[in-house]
Amino acid sequence: MDEVEDKKPDFFETIIGAVSFRKKYMDLSNYLLKKTKKATEMQTELLREISGEGTGQYKLKFDNGLALAHDPNIKVYDCNIRRCRVFTSAVRPMRMVFESRIFPDGWQEGDKVPESKDYAAMIKNGDDMRQD
């Protein structure tokens, strides 16, 4: 009988990554909301944090790429800091722009690596996202 493999399946990493990413952005968002309520101040603070100049805890940079939870085909690598911003609507949603690669379904190691392009994601904390 074949022995049961003790190897984690590939998607395990994806899930762990997505969960840790969620924790990261929640921490960042809570930190910003605690610090200030004004959208403009939040934005300067956000830019400082993700560029690693602030407390240095909330830098969003993934050397091996991180698959986004809502669309795992998209792997993000680094923030495009100039294009990130905080919106003025009630819950202060953040637009995070990442350098990303969109891997088509069935992509395998050794296939052509897709081009890097910007991907914008909206992150909300404080509002029910099901209504969007």
- Residues interacting with another protein, by CB under 8 A? 22, 25-26, 29, 68-71, 95, 118, 120-132
Q: What sign does the dihedral 100-35-48-86 (CA atoms) show?
A: positive
The answer to whether 114 and 104 have CB atoms below 8 angstroms apart is yes
If the CB atoms of residues 49 and 98 are measured against another protein, the closer one turns out to be 98
Give me the least distance between CB of 131 and another protein, in Å please.
4
Q: Least Å distance between CB 127 and another protein? A: 6
CB of 25 to another protein, least distance (A): 7
Residue (2 or 72) nearer to another protein, CB: 72
**What order do you get walking across the sheet with 61-68 strand by strand?**
61-68, 71-79, 94-102, 85-86
The tokens for 49 are 């944090």
- Cβ atoms of 46 and 94 within 8 Å: the answer is yes
Q: Which is nearer to another protein, 6 or 132 (CB)?
A: 132
For another protein, the closer of residues 45 and 93 by Cβ is 93
Largest CA distance in the chain: 64
Question: Cβ 110 to another protein, closest distance in Å?
Answer: 28
